[in-house]
Amino acid sequence: MSDIPRLAAELAERMEALGYSKGIIRIIRKCGWELEDARMRYGLSRRSLGKVIDRYAGEWRERWNRREVSHTRYAIRIKAVERMLAIHQGREPLWSQTPKPQIVLNDYYERLAVEIGGLPHWTSKSLSRSCQSTARALFAWLYENGREDLRSVTSDDIRKFCLQKAARVVNVHHLRYTLRQACDILTASGRLRCRCDKILGLAIASEMRLMPCLSSDEIARILNAPDRSKPAGRRDFAMLILGATTGLRACDVASIMLDDIDWRKGELRIVQGKTSVGLSLPLTEGVGNAVRDYILNGRPESGCREIFLRACAPYGRIGRSTVAGVFAEMRKRAGINTPKLGFHAFRRTLGRMLVSGEVDAPTISQALGHTKLWRVDASAERYIRMDGTSLSECALGLAGIRYRGGL
């Protein structure tokens, strides 16, 4: 192993000891081999690590500026090479975050956690990891509270854990779902003897967060931000106006194919990436003109069937991170600094506008491609929440009301 991969391996070991995730550790090791390949490509010696890192970081900075990679991928590699250089120079690397402490379990609970994560019935790896993570948190709580195995665990223990954990998580419904999955597995195997279905079926109060939307003026400023005299600007404008007009998710905008548009009927037909449900939307004149302009005057020649391609060679398909990066860049150009405002704000804004226009919930769900159309479910409900300004318009004045009693 040459010097650079060895530095990456040493950095990975340090970060692993500090509790960084396995995904970050894999990227660090990969970054070492990328840096070694770059050194050989530049024709530099192993002693010129500083020059190699400068050129490598510059390449990734250019890729991020061209919106070929997400800011997360870019930032991880920049921090990695800076820390490798610090180790090479005998300095202690700067740690920009406090790593989460790892959960330590006894052998009994550790075997159960591994077993839950390795079951073959999971529909996705993310669900498997989520349920395993919740199970590990439950096992750690039980062990700390004197339950060395599941034989003495009661439904009251599960209830206390759920309530304590709910106070520290963002998505309480996700916690309850993954906890129910883990408990069902343990109950079916005979290890957990108490009944948890009634406890986990109870509603848990959670904070209803109001996610930011866009005003009409802000949407106009974002749509005017791309430089439409350049091919990349034509692409960016077409993606942005698609999101603002149709409310499509970033992943769906990135995956639109040339065959998905019926120009004669003026329709856009896609299969949504999140739900795998088909969706047919009208192609308005503004959206159609923007997409047509990009295809005819900005889209590079490529064998890819996706409409939106990378802005530089090799001209391949883009991902959701590219669409999100375009929105973030245009939002900055427009001078909009609202926190937690991403491409999905187009979708929330459209839903809020439909609600304000007194469109019924099933129609809103159908227009946004939700799977449940027959009632006001959680998907439609999020668009019905009002901000402070809207609520103040509904508030009743107290003038003329006489108070009885004193304060």
Catalytic residue numbers, as ranges: 249, 274, 344, 347, 370, 383
Question: Of the candidates 114, 133, 177, 186, which has an alpha carbon nearest to the alpha carbon of residue 155?
Answer: 186
Please list, in sequence order, all residues whose beta carbon lies within 8 angstroms of the beta carbon of residue 106, skipping any fewer than 6 positions away: 143, 148
CB of 56 closer than 8 Å to CB of 38: yes
H helix runs in 98-154, sequence order: 107-117, 125-144
Question: Of the candidates 70, 104, 41, 28, which has an alpha carbon nearest to the alpha carbon of residue 318?
Answer: 70
H helix runs in 18-124, sequence order: 22-42, 49-65, 71-88, 107-117
- For 295-323, give one letter per residue: b (16+ CB within 10 A) or e: beebbeeeebebbbbbbeeeeebbbbbbb
Give the separation between CA 386 and CA 382, rounded to whole angstroms.
9
Tokens, residue 72: 């997360």
CB of 251 closer than 8 Å to CB of 380: no
Q: Which residue has 């400023």 as its token pair?
A: 221
Question: Of the candidates 203, 110, 218, which has an alpha carbon nearest to the alpha carbon of residue 118?
Answer: 110
Query: What are phi and psi for residue 76, nearest 5 degrees?
Result: -60, -45
Q: Which class for 236: exposed (0-12), middle (13-18), buried (19 or more C-beta within 10 A)?
A: buried
Q: What angle do CA 64, 52, 42 make, to 5 degrees?
A: 95
Question: Of the candidates 261, 258, 265, 218, which has an alpha carbon nearest to the alpha carbon of residue 240?
Answer: 218
* Helix orientation angle between 172-188 and 125-144, rounded to the nearest 10 degrees: 80
